[in-house]
């Protein structure tokens, strides 16, 4: 249910292009994996629903969200990859790790996208609590993995 496009109120599906020949890289953080797996499933289902071929979707795991940037670069450098979707969950703790990780990932993914001139999508769920993250991974606030995939498709239509 959370993967339905009807939940994508901010995206206009009529703008979406034919993606049957497009290749997608998913980079998924293992940290908070019970949640990132749901984000990944949402992204995958959304791509397939829009016509991407299963064999054109490449999922790669990285240890934590901090490594999303390098994982994205490993994929983006391949000419045949059209878009990269990065998924992670960073939950605030007692230290400032969340700040450091989120800023590093935001800046890093921006750089990778600009360097390779292809969509590199920031699908990082950054919350204060585990429950808020679950709400955004198939819960009451939808699934950010779905939105990340939709963003990639929309950008490919440019």
Q: Is 71 in the site for ligand DLZ (CB under 6 A)?
A: no
Q: Is 29 in the site for ligand DLZ (CB under 6 A)?
A: yes
Q: Which is it for strands 57-62 and 137-139: parallel, antiparallel or unpaired?
A: unpaired
The 3-class secondary structure across 5-32, one letter per residue, is: HHHCCCCCHHHCCCCCCCCEEEEEECCC
Q: Cβ 20 to ligand DLZ, closest distance in Å?
A: 32
Stretch that binds ligand DLZ, among 7-15, 17-25, 62-70, 127-135 (CB under 6 A): 62-70
Q: Is 59 in the site for ligand DLZ (CB under 6 A)?
A: no
Q: Phi and psi for 51 in degrees, rounded to 5? A: 110, 0
Q: Is 7 a catalytic residue?
A: no
Q: Where are the alpha helices (DSSP H) in the chain?
A: 33-49, 68-76, 97-116, 130-135, 144-156
Neighbours of 47 (CB within 10 A): 25
Q: Is 106 in the site for ligand DLZ (CB under 6 A)?
A: no
Question: Do 113 and 120 touch, CB atoms closer than 8 A?
Answer: yes
Nearer to ligand DLZ, 11 or 31 (CB): 31
Size, binding site for ligand DLZ by CB under 6 A: 15
Stretch that binds ligand DLZ, among 7-15, 37-45, 61-69, 143-151 (CB under 6 A): 61-69
Comparing every residue's Cβ against ligand DLZ, the nearest one is 64
Q: Is 64 in the site for ligand DLZ (CB under 6 A)?
A: yes
In sign, the C-alpha dihedral spanning 136, 61, 120, 2 is negative
Q: Which residues are at the interface with ligand DLZ (CB under 6 A)?
A: 29, 31-32, 63-67, 88-91, 93, 97, 101
**Catalytic center residues:** 97
């Amino acid at each position: 249910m959370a993967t339905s496009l009807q939940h994508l109120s901010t995206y206009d599906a009529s703008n979406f292009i034919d993606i049957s020949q497009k290749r997608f890289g998913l980079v998924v953080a293992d940290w908070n994996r019970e949640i990132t797996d749901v984000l990944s499933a949402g992204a995958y289902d959304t791509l397939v629903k829009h016509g991407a071929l299963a064999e054109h979707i490449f999922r790669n795991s990285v240890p934590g969200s901090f490594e999303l940037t390098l994982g994205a670069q490993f994929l983006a450098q391949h000419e045949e990859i059209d878009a990269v979707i990065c998924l992670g969950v960073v939950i605030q703790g007692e230290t400032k790790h969340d700040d450091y990780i989120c800023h590093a990932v935001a800046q890093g993914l921006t750089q990778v996208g600009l360097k390779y001139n292809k969509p590199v999508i920031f699908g990082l769920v950054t919350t204060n609590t585990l429950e808020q993250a679950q709400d955004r991974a198939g819960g009451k606030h939808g699934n950010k993995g779905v939105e990340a995939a939709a963003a990639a498709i929309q950008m490919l239509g440019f």
